[in-house]
Structure 1
């Protein structure tokens, strides 16, 4: 589903460009294994959202539900105001998607695929596609079936970026790329978001990549969105608290903004909190101290 930018005349009158992607109370299970447990996610225009979570946390399943590739057992996802499971052509044409394991027409050559897409979509940006192929060192004469995994992933990115879509969804797009190529990809994503107001959902387990790109971060953990905040706010407000045993006994079962709670030696507790209010009074208690957490530390603290 590499959808492309639509000509203005093809855009549906009811196309909601202010909220390209939204989901309410998504539930998905594989047999007895619950993958999504009431996920709510709303992505307004121009936001670059980094979706993080452990391998196997359900990030790809969530993206599948958001794009209408998977049917959830409960809840609904909407793209540009319409149900994701019943998209019209106008909405598909506003979407660019890079799956975790991209597939293409293996018997085609790279240049043939670009020409094929250019004929299908009048608004296909041929010059932009050619520039991306050159930047990513992809030979138009190369057979797609003989591309390396990294090259295939680069080609999928070109297919998604070339039409300058309104919504760009990337599921671990840099997993097969070397560090230099990852930086180039991130640069292209940022440029596209800034220059065209593209809304981006970017899933990755590489925390440093997300920090370079994302304006907001959502953390999928145990089937739920544990937090969804602006990146700068998250980094400035997330703290690790050490509470000695005497103070731990006085704590409520849960603090406002609490993300994780771990028992330590001698009855002490380690807490991770992500809000400014609701816990500062604890600092007046003897032996309690707070340390800031970066995004990678937060990921480790909560995911363990």
Structure 2
């Protein structure tokens, strides 16, 4: 296991998992997931609701014990992180609920005492800039306001590693753009490594340098955002060529007229499947959103 993790750069990655598998009540949620974040990268973890994104993030942080595999944070086992490592990371769950009996200002003041690089001015100024009442109890804030307070908490700690689970789920379009701008700014200026999960492709395209596509508990794609158009395409084969469809494809559809469409990728040498060169075959470029829809449907 350790040798495999070294091969997967777990020793240098701020966050890495190898062979991660988990399930609930006999149902598989994650199946053999391998993923390592490059230092300073912004990775968008994309997938439909129920794809396993939240479970993967929680397992990555040691908040749950996977049934198989291993997760490491800053090279340390995720389930046994020392306090020094914990102070270098920040996590925002999809539905923040902790410390709801405190006001926004009280929560930020309390939590800030645990982080050596806490940016008090940023926390105070961002509360005001986002028009969040500092003295209102967290429990009485709207879901969007509550999520923004938790985002302020995460960003104010100036983490080396930042994990956001559907950070824009409860935000309106203007607030989403403000959030993404802050994430991009922090990552660019401080070199923070960021992982955020989403099912909103446009959010991912604005800030992510890499994309990982989780589908039914399996990691199907992990590459640079700009590389998806070069590496993946839709291959359409008329009915008379359907038997030539490659066995390996990210998705496969058979249409009423007998034709077949598949999402295919280039091989290690940069070549498309042989069927793409047959007379009558058609290869269509896919944008990131089209790629997501083709595979997820």
TM-score, normalising length: structure 2: 0.92
- TM-superposed CA distance for 1:283, in Å, is 4.0
Say what the alpha-carbon RMSD is for the aligned residues. 1.6
- TM-superposed CA distance for 1:264, in Å, is 2.1
1:138-177 residue pairs with structure 2 within 5 A?
A: 138-177=132-171
- TM-superposed CA distance for 1:245, in Å, is 2.1
Partner residue of 1:260?
Answer: 251
Q: SS of 2:113's equivalent? A: helix
Q: Verify: 1:292 aligned to 2:285, yes or no.
A: yes
Unaligned runs of 5+ in 2: 1-9
Which residue of 259, 264, 267 corresponds with 1:273?
A: 264
- TM-superposed CA distance for 1:146, in Å, is 1.1
Which residue of 221, 225, 234 corresponds with 2:219?
A: 225
- Superposed structure 1 runs of 4+ greater than 6 Å apart: none
Residues matched between the structures, number = 286
Greater CA deviation, 139-148 or 67-76? 139-148
Q: SS of 2:90's equivalent? A: strand
Partner residue of 2:101?
Answer: 107
Q: SS of 1:175's equivalent? A: coil
Q: SS of 2:180's equivalent? A: helix
Unaligned runs of 5+ in 1: 1-15
Partner residue of 2:90?
Answer: 96
Q: SS of 1:233's equivalent? A: helix
- TM-superposed CA distance for 1:95, in Å, is 0.6
TM-score, normalising length: structure 1: 0.90
- TM-superposed CA distance for 1:26, in Å, is 0.5
- TM-superposed CA distance for 1:103, in Å, is 1.4
- TM-superposed CA distance for 1:123, in Å, is 2.1
Instruction: Tell me how far apart the structure 2 counterparts of residues 197 and 288 of structure 1 sit (CA, whole Å).
Output: 45
For each residue in 1:73-119, what CA deviation from the matched residue of structure 2 results, as whole angstroms up to 9, or x when unmatched?
10000000011000110110011110011013222122122222233
Instruction: Tell me how far apart the structure 1 counterparts of residues 195 and 231 of structure 2 sit (CA, whole Å).
Output: 23
For each residue in 1:42-79, what CA deviation from the matched residue of structure 2 results, as whole angstroms up to 9, or x when unmatched?
01101111011111111101111001111101000000
**8 Å contact 1:23–1:39 — kept in the other structure?**
yes
